[in-house]
Amino acid sequence: MPAGAPLAWKRILLKVSGEALSGEGRLGIDGGPLHALAEEIAAAARTGAEIAIVNGGGNIVRGAQMAIKGIGRATADYMGMLATVINALALQDVLESLGAPTRVLSAIEMRGVAEPYIRRRAMRHLEKGRIIILAGGSGHPYFSTDTTAALRGSEIGAQVLLKGTKVDGVYDKDPKRHGDAQRFLDVSFEEVYARRLQVMDRTAITMCQENALPIVVFDMGVAGNLARVLRGEAIGTRVGFSA
């Protein structure tokens, strides 16, 4: 997207999964997907958009799975939060190699590698044109990174929460298992509850609804899609835009 093109939103919260850094069905961090993601974000930042990112850590460790194996849920969740910091540091370095100034702010304090998350500091970084990666989850167990994205987006005054996924929107049923699955173009928060649609977890959806933070679910794996969403093109599924 060329610099100076009109933006639908100035300040966004981008939620990406840990798997976006690893490739399909893989663990760890893969240079190919990592660089592709960073290039999309850096290009979007050059348009003047203020970008905050919340990334998951599922490519390294999933708290729920660790808990099943005998590790306590709280400990497993803290392990997952630390995994998000590892991903954030990797993404930061690649973004900066592409010329995009980036700061990592962690909800779990670790001054040697990241700044502590402070709302006003985060907003100041955005105002100065820096991409911020908000790592460490919410700093508390029992909350998903989806909920963290809704929380941080509300805190920093984001105009929209963009959820980059591996599917092109929200469907009435799993499109991988049902050939007749129908994709929604627009859906209200009430419909998400009523139909039990797989957008984000219920806590995250409730927080977005209460704070009037709309969501766009789109396929982050298609080159240029982030730029198209920023222009307001009809990409993916828009959630909570209807009155």
Strands 131-135 and 115-116: unpaired
The whole-number average pLDDT for the span 4-13 is: 87
Residue 107 clears pLDDT 70, i.e. is over it: yes
* Domain 11-239 fold: Carbamate kinase (3.40.1160)
pLDDT band (50, 70, 90) for residue 1? very low
Torsion angles phi and psi, residue 239, rounded to 5: -115, 125
- What's this model's pTM, rounded to 2 decimal places? 0.92
**Can you state the angle between helices 145-155 and 202-210, rounded to 10 degrees?**
10
Residues 139, 52: Cα–Cα separation, whole Å: 17
Domain residue ranges in the chain: 11-239
Residues of the chain with pLDDT > 90, as a percent, come to 79
Torsion angles phi and psi, residue 52, rounded to 5: -110, 140
Torsion angles phi and psi, residue 172, rounded to 5: -75, -20
